[in-house]
Amino acid sequence: TGKDDVVLKTDGVTKSFGGLRANNDVSIEVERGSITGMIGPNGAGKSTLFNIISGFYEEDAGSVYVNDTDVTDMEPHEIAGEGLIRTFQTPRKLEGMTVREAMLLGPQEQIGESITALFSAPDRVGEQERRNLEQAEEMLERFEISDLARSPATEISGGQLKLVELARAMLAEPDILLLDEPVAGVNPTLANKLSTFITDLNEEGITFLIIEHDLEFLMEIADPIIVLDQGEILVEGDPEAVQNDQRVLDAYLGG
Ligand code: ADP
Ligand code: MG
């Protein structure tokens, strides 16, 4: 489709749950350096697509490429190794962990070696773990949540948790970050902060693919925007065009 440097590509991704086709022949390309938005009514298949891209669901058909590598049959942690990290619409409850400890979980919610060591043999935390901890502290600082480091991860607000998720994702040094509804349930002040962080990171070279219900949020930072409806791509274009597209208005009214 004329994009010159594609960091993420799906080719004909199809997925059914029982009789329901959640993704039907979905082909997208995300250009390196872009903040690409993804919208669509509830149940359109957005999260399913993220789950397939990041290796959490197995597709019925189709392929996924990250940096031109075929990752279709890879495990989530392997896909993370190829440079793609995602966050979850509903972050896992991080029971019994402080925010600092949660930061040391590996990418894609894998339990990292560092945290295993911290829990099983806290006195024998090695050089690598110390470095990880240092990077985690730096990242907490960058996202202005250092004061939460010692808080139980279950006791911070939903908005703060989204910041922790973003900070944690960044520790994996991704080429592309997939965010599933980053501002859902987040207060406007924090949402503004989040959009500043995202645009800053983007200027530093991180590509984003962001699912979001809050159109206002997405319209300000994303271009292009892909619209998914009933498992299929309905429209792709710049925010203005998408916002004024009758098919998009119909999809939201009909949904
Ligand atoms: P969106 O994120 O756009 O709201 P989803 O991808 O979560 O949509 O869901 C698309 C459709 O697939 C919905 O009808 C949903 O109920 C269904 N679905 C998603 N995940 C599963 C699953 N694990 N098992 C069964 N049905 C699912
Ligand atoms: Mg969803």
169-180 pLDDT, tens digit each: 999 899 999 999
Query: What is the predicted pLDDT for the residue at 116?
Result: 52
User: Does residue 119 surpass a pLDDT of 70?
Assistant: no
What is the percent of the chain with per-residue pLDDT over 90, rounded to a whole number?
66
Query: What is the predicted pLDDT for the residue at 122?
Result: 58
Q: Is the CB of 20 under 6 A from ligand 1?
A: yes
- Helix H or strand E encompassing 41: none
The pTM assigned to this predicted structure is 0.91
User: Does residue 113 surpass a pLDDT of 50?
Assistant: no
Cis peptide before 224 (omega within 30 of 0): yes
Q: Which of 28, 47, 51, 178 to mutate to test the pocket of ligand 1 (most atoms within 8 A of CB)?
A: 47
CA dihedral 197, 203, 206, 211 (to 10 degrees): 60
Band (110; pLDDT cuts 50, 70, 90): low
What is the percent of the chain with per-residue pLDDT over 70, rounded to a whole number?
90
Band (234; pLDDT cuts 50, 70, 90): very high
Q: Is the CB of 24 under 6 A from ligand 1?
A: no
Q: Is the CB of 233 under 6 A from ligand 1?
A: no
User: Does residue 124 surpass a pLDDT of 90?
Assistant: no
Q: Which two tokens stand for residue 211?
A: 């699912």
Q: Whose CA is nearest to atom 5 of ligand 1?
A: 45
How far does residue 50's CA lie from ligand 2's centre (Å)? 9
Q: CA 167, CA 138: separation in Å to the nearest integer?
A: 9
Q: In the predicted model, what is the mean pLDDT of residues 145-153?
A: 93
User: Does residue 100 surpass a pLDDT of 50?
Assistant: yes
**Bridge partners (DSSP) listed for residue 236:** 226
Q: CA 228, CA 37: separation in Å to the nearest integer?
A: 11
Q: Which domains does the chain have, with CATH numbers?
A: 1-83+174-255 (3.40.50.300), 93-172 (no CATH)
Q: Which two tokens stand for residue 235?
A: 């429209």
Q: Is the CB of 48 under 6 A from ligand 1?
A: yes
Task: Spell out which residues have Cβ within 5 A of ligand 2, the ion.
Answer: 46-47, 89
Residue 222: DSSP 8-state: -
Which tens digits make up the pLDDT trace of 36-85? 999 999 999 999 999 999 999 999 999 999 999 999 999 999 999 999 99
Beta strands per DSSP E along the chain = 6-17, 20-31, 35-39, 61-66, 69-70, 84-86, 176-180, 207-211, 225-229, 232-237
User: Does residue 237 surpass a pLDDT of 90?
Assistant: yes
- Which atom of ligand 1 approaches the CA of 42 most closely? 4
| Top-confidence residue, 161 or 128 | 161
Query: What is the predicted pLDDT for the residue at 216?
Result: 84
Residue position matching structure tokens 């800053």: 200
Q: Which of 13, 14, 17 to mutate to test the pocket of ligand 1 (most atoms within 8 A of CB)?
A: 17
Residue 152: DSSP 8-state: B
Q: Is the CB of 227 under 6 A from ligand 1?
A: no
Contact yes or no for 212/182 (Cβ under 8 A) = yes
Q: Is the CB of 17 under 6 A from ligand 1?
A: yes
Contact yes or no for 95/205 (Cβ under 8 A) = no
How far does residue 149's CA lie from ligand 1's centre (Å)? 34
